[in-house]
């Protein structure tokens, strides 16, 4: 099964081709370039590097959040468009859960943190047990102080873009090269979900926002 996974939930823009268990192509940028400009080019490069056509993809997967409203809309809309045009299934992957796959072989608690603005973060606490990701604290919005208390309780490895915004330096931090989102994790989680029969149509794929956008809140 060939899977196209994309990651657009934050600063990172990434596209990956997974062929069964093998990552055959992955392009990742962590720059200030906007996803609306770069995403299609990244997907095109990933496909060309894998020597396949978009029509060869069996399953499309997007990181659905939580994260940047604009980034999530771009990513989800792109995947929905491919699925509609090609009549293929898709899967939405929780951004925080996908981030944990940076530490798939770890037995530590893992706490991904993304900036939710206004001294709040998107966070959750997870751990791999017998190869499966187990949730200890649900993906939600937390005040920064509450997130720090969670970190004190579990002593997890902290990772994610939120560490670039808020000071968690007194805790156990992931090395920078393992801190950020990437599309290969999205594709890997999507494969696991597909094997459990959790396929979606393009109608069913929606972002996981958790809060109103700034415009909606005004």
What is the secondary structure of 27-38 as a DSSP string? EEEESS--HHHH
Q: Which CATH architecture has domain 96-178?
A: 2-Layer Sandwich (3.30)
Reply yes or no on whether the pLDDT at 217 is more than 60.
no
Reply yes or no on whether the pLDDT at 131 is more than 80.
yes
List, in order, residues 6 or more apart from 89 with CB less than 8 Å away. Answer: 59, 60, 83, 194, 199, 200, 201
Beta strand 172-173 pairing with 157-159? parallel
List, in order, residues 6 or more apart from 135 with CB less than 8 Å away. Answer: 124, 125, 126
**Which one, of 120, 126, 62, 122, lies nearest residue 97 by Cα?**
126
Reply yes or no on whether the pLDDT at 204 is more than 90.
yes
Q: Output the pLDDT for position 215.
A: 42
**Which one, of 169, 171, 126, 162, lies nearest residue 144 by Cα?**
162
pLDDT mean over 142-165: 98
Assign domain 2-95+181-217 one CATH number from 3.40.1440.60, 3.40.50.300, 3.30.420.40, 3.20.20.70: 3.30.420.40
Q: Do domains 2-95+181-217 and 96-178 have the same CATH topology?
A: yes
What percent of the chain shows pLDDT beyond 70?
96
């Amino acid at each position: 099964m060939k899977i196209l996974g994309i990651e657009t939930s934050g600063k990172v823009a990434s596209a990956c081709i997974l062929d069964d268990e093998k990552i055959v192509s992955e392009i990742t940028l962590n720059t200030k370039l906007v996803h609306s400009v770069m995403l299609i080019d990244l997907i095109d490069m990933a496909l060309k590097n894998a020597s396949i056509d978009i029509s060869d993809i069996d399953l499309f997967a997007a990181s659905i959040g939580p994260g940047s409203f604009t980034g999530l809309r771009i990513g989800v809309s792109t995947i929905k468009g491919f699925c509609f045009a090609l009549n293929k299934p898709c899967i939405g992957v929780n951004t925080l859960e996908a981030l944990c796959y940076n530490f798939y072989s770890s037995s530590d608690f893992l706490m991904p943190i993304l900036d939710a603005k206004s001294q709040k973060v998107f966070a959750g606490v997870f751990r791999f047990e017998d190869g499966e990701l187990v949730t200890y604290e649900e993906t939600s919005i937390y005040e920064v102080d509450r997130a720090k208390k969670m970190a004190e309780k579990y002593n997890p490895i902290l990772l994610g873009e939120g560490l670039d915004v808020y000071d968690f330096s007194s805790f156990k931090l992931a090395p920078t090269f393992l801190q950020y989102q990437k599309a290969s994790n999205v594709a890997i989680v999507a494969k696991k979900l597909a094997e459990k029969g959790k396929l979606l149509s393009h109608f069913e794929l929606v972002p996981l926002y958790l809060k109103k956008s700034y415009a909606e809140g005004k």
